[in-house]
């Protein structure tokens, strides 16, 4: 029975493909929120940490001393911005106190 012997492997391959396709579509990586930059009021250092309510926890000291900071590409430095409950709106887009232009959440961290 040549017919039966050739159909069975083909069906097996089709089922395997269906399982693999389903498996791939079910394993989409969950995008983690991008880290944001904070300035520590205790040490004065700038750290990158997951977004959280201010004052945020400094991962180096374990204390809630971090304030949000935004980067001004014209100053080439970070500025501490008021927490969201003081500033009406999201911190992104808060204007640079010197240039009055919108600052950004990403930039080179000072060493
Ligand atoms: Zn500036």
Q: Helix, strand, or coil here: 3? A: helix
pLDDT for the residue 26: 63
Give the per-residue pLDDT at 51: 87
Question: How far does residue 79's CA lie from ligand 1's centre (Å)?
Answer: 8
42 cis-preceded (ω within 30 degrees of 0) = no
Structure confidence at residue 1 (pLDDT): 56
- Å from CA of 82 to ligand 1 middle: 16
pTM: 0.65
pLDDT of residue 38: 95
Greatest Cα pair distance, the chain, in angstroms, is 85
Reported as a single tens digit per residue, the pLDDT across 11-64 is 666 665 565 666 655 666 777 778 899 999 999 999 999 888 889 999 999 999
- Compute, in angstroms, the gap from residue 84 CA to the centroid of ligand 1: 20
Of 100, 109, 41, whose CA–CA distance to 71 is shortest? 109
CA distance 77 to 100: 14
Q: What is the pLDDT of residue 64?
A: 95
User: How far is ligand 1, taken at its centre, from the CA of residue 50, in Å?
Assistant: 24
């Amino acid at each position: 029975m040549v017919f039966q012997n050739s159909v069975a492997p083909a069906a097996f391959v089709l089922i395997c493909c269906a399982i693999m396709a389903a498996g791939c579509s079910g394993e989409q990586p969950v995008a983690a929120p991008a880290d944001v930059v904070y300035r520590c009021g205790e040490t004065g250092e700038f750290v990158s940490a997951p977004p959280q309510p201010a004052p945020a926890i400094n991962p180096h000291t374990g204390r809630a001393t971090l304030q949000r900071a935004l980067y001004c590409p014209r100053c080439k430095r970070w500025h501490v911005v008021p927490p969201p409950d003081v500033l009406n709106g999201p911190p992104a887009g808060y204007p640079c106190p010197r240039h009055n232009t919108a600052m950004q959440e990403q930039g080179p961290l000072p060493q």
